[in-house]
Chains A and B, each alone.
Chain A
């Protein structure tokens, strides 16, 4: 017998390396906060001074990815490092759907959360990253309950709506949040035998669906994302039941980023107080121009990426 050839490809990592409580715990600490997209250290500092509870480090905000086209990939690690050095709040970064090596690189850099994101061009059109084996926690997007529970089943410790990133149009984020909520309400009323059928129907693991039905909400923290551009948008998503808000292009594509960022932070804390919302909505300068999702060609919609 000759010696065996090596079997390359060991990406299926072994048993979960850390307790899920520690991963979901950080997401719980982010609740009631705003996570802002930043493309350099200077923007990261503006976000931190505005009161962001975390920043998302990336090379191009989604609005620019739309304009420039091409393949969007993980950001240059040097840029992510510069941002990590500039601020003391948690730093997140995006990896392409299914690109587990980008995830390994981001973990090695020490980012605090990885967003396996449809905003970047998918690297795998069938599989998502198996996230259990990573020590760094993951956040993933969803359009409905089935998608959310599939991601949690793969190991996501936090969920966000997909919305339609880079448009400044909140309509899709609202649709996705309302869909998740409506589906959870249906599940809450179901008996076990109905839940088995429903699990099959929405492509969700039964155990997670049952847990969701028992809790009356997703079992992990759920943020709004994809189209939030104003304090009112942010408060709308909070009143619809989100735990916090991601703002991507909405801040640094607007007229006065620092002022708008502060206003959105205040709006998320005081989302139930219209007087505060009126106050913080005053004199913010120009909002990002925005694209109507209605007029967007199908090929340019990012939310449908992910399986």
Chain B
């Protein structure tokens, strides 16, 4: 892990739109105030993942990413990262599918998932590419009186069923954003819009998580 005043945030780069997230994260980091130095890396191997305090799993093809993860021996380390070390992890579109405990409409024989969100997602919920669209979203967690967020939905999944304990981030009947503890999932692609608000919000959540960890460590040392 990184030292106290610098942290590393990773974007899983097995396949998909990872460069877009890296670009927006770098821009977002310039706009938030923190004494910590935040570095960003693309993650392709378990060694890369070990350096990270938090991770984005990008959009792409979830079946492809799951197969490559298995064959690159990074699937188990990813599960540990999310579910044992409980590091902040955000999945967009395919990334949200991988972070779910269950998925519908998977390929024949099913697909491997990382898990972490106690939800069932429905893949390609809105249909094929000709049914892809964008729509303004009210995301209350970004703050009151914020302008709508442009949600780009590409062959997007939605959360079909959810356990009562999760904090649900939408008032619509189709759930397109979800959070459970350290794990966040969104159906849509903030990385395609140039809107930094979600990335800034998430970096803020990472910093809160780090403070909590440091306090915990401190408390343990004092006992």
Our pick among B64, B93, B128, B134 for the contact of A22 (Cβ within 8 Å) is: B134
Give the size of the chain B interface in residues (CB under 8 angstroms): 40
**Residues A89 and B61 in contact, CB atoms below 8 Å apart:** yes
Our pick among A28, A50, A51 for the contact of B17 (Cβ within 8 Å) is: A28
**Residues B154 and A25 in contact, CB atoms below 8 Å apart:** yes
Our pick among A21, A30, A50 for the contact of B61 (Cβ within 8 Å) is: A30
Our pick among B60, B124, B129, B133 for the contact of A53 (Cβ within 8 Å) is: B60
Q: How far is the CB of A193 from chain B (nearest CB, A)?
A: 30
Contacts of B17 in A (CB 8 A): 28-29, 31
Q: A32-B13, A265-B67, A266-B71 are in contact. Are A25 and B61 (CB under 8 A)?
A: no
Give the size of the chain A interface in residues (CB under 8 angstroms): 41
Instruction: Kindly identify, within residues 27 to 45 of chain A, every residue whose CB is under 8 Å from any CB belonging to chain B.
Output: 28-33, 45
By beta carbon, the residue of chain B nearest A272 is B44
Contacts of A137 in B (CB 8 A): 129
Q: How far is the CB of B139 from chain A (nearest CB, A)?
A: 18
**Residues B133 and A22 in contact, CB atoms below 8 Å apart:** yes
A19 adjacent to chain B (CB < 8 Å): yes
Q: How far is the CB of B171 from chain A (nearest CB, A)?
A: 24
Our pick among A22, A32, A262 for the contact of B15 (Cβ within 8 Å) is: A32
Residue of A19, A25, A50, A269 with highest tally of chain B CB at under 10 A: A25
Residue of B71, B129, B193 with highest tally of chain A CB at under 10 A: B129
**Residues B44 and A51 in contact, CB atoms below 8 Å apart:** no
**Residues A31 and B155 in contact, CB atoms below 8 Å apart:** no
**Residues A89 and B134 in contact, CB atoms below 8 Å apart:** no
Contacts of A45 in B (CB 8 A): 108
B210 adjacent to chain A (CB < 8 Å): no
Q: Which residues of A are at the interface with B, using a C-beta cutoff of 8 A?
A: 18-19, 21-22, 25-26, 28-33, 45, 48-54, 84, 86-90, 107, 110-113, 135-137, 262, 265-266, 268-270, 273
